[in-house]
Chain A
Amino acid sequence: EAGVAQSPRYKIIEKRQSVAFWCNPISGHATLYWYQQILGQGPKLLIQFQNNGVVDDSQLPKDRFSAERLKGVDSTLKIQPAKLEDSAVYLCASSLVTGNEQFFGPGTRLTVL
């Protein structure tokens, strides 16, 4: 079965610019997560969707980050404007509603200069 797809794989921008990441979860997975992984640390949850509704966005910096999951399938994560400290790998994961296992995509590595 196809895994979680993410694009782009790499992105370099200057601070104050905008950037968007795209995620296509595994077919049939109702739950979708975005994690941020700063170098040397474990991933940290930014937002969790179930179908097209937000379950948890308590750790999303809402002044600059936004995410949507229209139609309950694909999702986009946007940063506007970017700061230097946003340099990280952004990971998308999906799971079945009752699943034990989260499946992760390869991530998007963002560098903010």
Chain B
Amino acid sequence: DAKTTQPPSMDCAEGRAANLPCNHSTISGNEYVYWYRQIHSQGPQYIIHGLKNNETNEMASLIITEDRKSSTLILPHATLRDTAVYYCIVRPWISGNTPLVFGKGTRLSVIA
């Protein structure tokens, strides 16, 4: 079972920042937080991951709380193409090759 809790849906105005929360209160010390998204009729796409420090890449920023029990994915300037289901996943780093355990995710709707 998924070890994360996410709101089922969110709306965001185009051009605004989208802040997607995730609760992972039972996360272990060797587990990373990963975010994937799935646009309609496509396979999931990797966005970002982190352990305890905040991370940023060309797609998004990941803010992890100091106690690591929750995190927020930030899309700084949401566009209509960001409409998708966003999955927050806790994944242990053993060999780097463990499968992903998906929950139901958050359906983000970006509105013009």
Contact residues of A with B, CB < 8 Å?
Answer: 4, 31, 33, 40-45, 48, 50, 55-56, 91, 93, 95, 97-107
Q: Is the interface of B mostly helix, strand, loop or mixed?
A: loop
Which B residues lie at the A interface, using CB under 8 A? 2, 34, 41-46, 49, 85, 87, 95-97, 99-105
**Cα distance, A95 to B99, chains bound together (Å):** 10
> Which residues from B are CB-within-8-Å of A40?
104
Known: A4-B43, A44-B102, A104-B45. A98 touches B96 (CB 8 A): yes
- Does A98 lie within 8 Å of B100, measured CB to CB? no
Assembled-state Cα–Cα distance A100/B97 (Å)? 7
A42–B87 Cα distance when bound, in Å, is: 8
The docked-state distance in angstroms from the alpha carbon of A86 to that of B92 is 29
Q: How far is the CA of A48 from the CA of B44 in the complex (A)?
A: 17
Beyond A42-B102, A91-B44, A99-B97: 6 further Cβ-contacts under 8 Å? A31-B97, A41-B104, A48-B99, A93-B44, A100-B34, A104-B42
